[in-house]
Amino acid sequence: MFDKTVAELSAALRRRQVSSVELTQLFLARINKYKNLNAFITLDPERSLAQAKAADARLAQGESTVITGVPLAQKDIFCADGWLTTCGSKILSNFVAPYDATLIEKFNKAGAVCLGKTNMDEFAMGSSNETSYYGAVKSPWNTEVVPGGSSGGSAAAVAARLAPAATGTDTGGSIRQPAALSNLTGLKPSYGRVSRYGMIAFASSLDQGGPMTRSAEDAALLLNVMAGFDVRDSTSVNEAVPDYTQTLNKDIKGLRIGLPQEYFSKGLSPDVAKAVEAAIAEYKKLGAQVVEVSLPNSQLAIPCYYVLAPAEASSNLSRFDGARYGYRAKDYTDLLDMYCKTRAEGFGAEVKRRIMIGTYALSAGYYDAYYLKAQQLRRLIAEDFKKAFESCDVIMGPTTPSTAFKIGEKSDDPVAMYLSDIYTISVNLAGLPGMSIPAGFDPKGLPIGLQLIGQYFDEARLLNVAHRYQQVTDWHKQMPKGFN
């Protein structure tokens, strides 16, 4: 049962082939068995099993939804009532959330079971899941390499079959990049499609929650639950939400695929380029046609992002000072000293780096030179996509420039780490939906991801395009050795 998809588990539950309690016990046992991956921060078996029992009761009464009784893992960035919610940071290591994030609320209402809270880069700042206060997450494909980040715990958990699916968040690629490095299907919805209420903020104009699954079909099932307008979130968009499963099998003959020349230039691994080209060839067999497009400002996405995101982080993280909740330094002389020592002891090196960069960019004398210029460039990046979509329906390319790198390999070189998101960041800056799907492996057996980018609120098309590819390939069905 642990190797079945969400769709398959849902069918088995409704046919009474297995109970939610049995499934929950199975996955909790696997989580305990493979603790060496460090995929989870918090488990509460008693609470999880209580949810499973309630789900079984709903199933027996015929009051279930498609995902009632299905166990899921939740990224530890979402507040969940009564659960320790740390965001991978020492400064929140004792914070038990007093309320549910909208996303958690929606899953609870649908009858899903929470298996636990997954490990992540501290405050979602990282691309390797090495900045977590709770230690690095290891990839089930090779425990010497990273699973990607910041949603690395969710990625490792689903890849190793410790959970059928999980939630993640994507600020600059933190769903798509770990999905690519871990052989998963990861979807970043359009900005405003999934409520951010109760999701601990990193960069408010970029953050977006989304599903991390093994297939496009499962991603559609989860997005059906997650998507929707929320009056409690001022960035939520009141846009109609379709049933994403209804158009999965739609014919893609005549689909226009845009290939940005900038995504196939220097810096792209030959192994990744070969896999992406093979995936494009499969789409041609399905009746799609390829057109060349240009995103001339995409190479400036990283400097733009690393002005804007730290600037927003410096503001958002100012609330963590030890005065109201979370960690507080033990020895201090006055209030200011308490603030300084609490933040110095509570935040990790990468978080401190970004807070300082952001504060500098927003300071008097530098606001116009850095922050304002970055916002202007952000608009140009969005305009590039708008122009590209005049001649294509979906943009495709690599998700990452290479496959997974070794743990510790880029820890002392922040710029090299930042470059691993070079193909994903521009999508967040533009607010578009983006998706990564499995597209092969390199000679070392490490996964490669194909990125799909769509127009605003066109997640249904992305899921359809991904699903059609997965019907004729089996990359997404591959499982790491040693986790049977």
Q: Check 10, 20, 75, 436 and give the catalytic one.
A: 75
The catalytic residue among 128, 150, 154, 426 is 150
User: 239-268 burial string, b = 16+ CB within 10 Å, else e?
Assistant: eeeeebbeebeeebeebebbbbebbbeeeb
Q: Counting every residue, how long is the chain?
A: 484
Annotated catalytic residue: which of 174, 182, 195, 236? 174
Give every strand in the sheet of 40-42, ordered side by side: 40-42, 113-118, 71-75, 166-169, 209-213, 185-188, 434-441, 447-453, 394-398, 256-260, 289-293
Active site residue 174: yes
Question: Which residue blocks in 80-215 are alpha helix, DSSP H?
Answer: 102-110, 152-159, 176-182
CA separation, residue 65 to residues 2, 3, 108, 109, 456 (Å): 21, 21, 11, 9, 28
Tell how far CA 182 is from the center of its chain: 12
Residue 190's closest CA among 439, 434, 25? Answer: 434
Question: Is residue 284 annotated as a catalytic residue, yes or no?
Answer: no
Q: How far apart are CA 231 and CA 224, in angstroms?
A: 18
101 contacts 332 by C-beta, under 8 angstroms = no
| In contact, 203 and 313? CB cutoff 8 Å | yes
Record the tokens describing residue 105, joined without a space.
Answer: 């609320």
3-state class of 346 per DSSP?
helix
Paired residues of 441 in beta bridges: 447
430: nearest Cα among 470, 388, 392, 483 = 388
Q: Respond yes or no: is residue 481 known to be catalytic.
A: no
Residue 100 corresponds to which tokens in the numbers above?
């549910």
Residues identified as active-site? 75, 150, 174
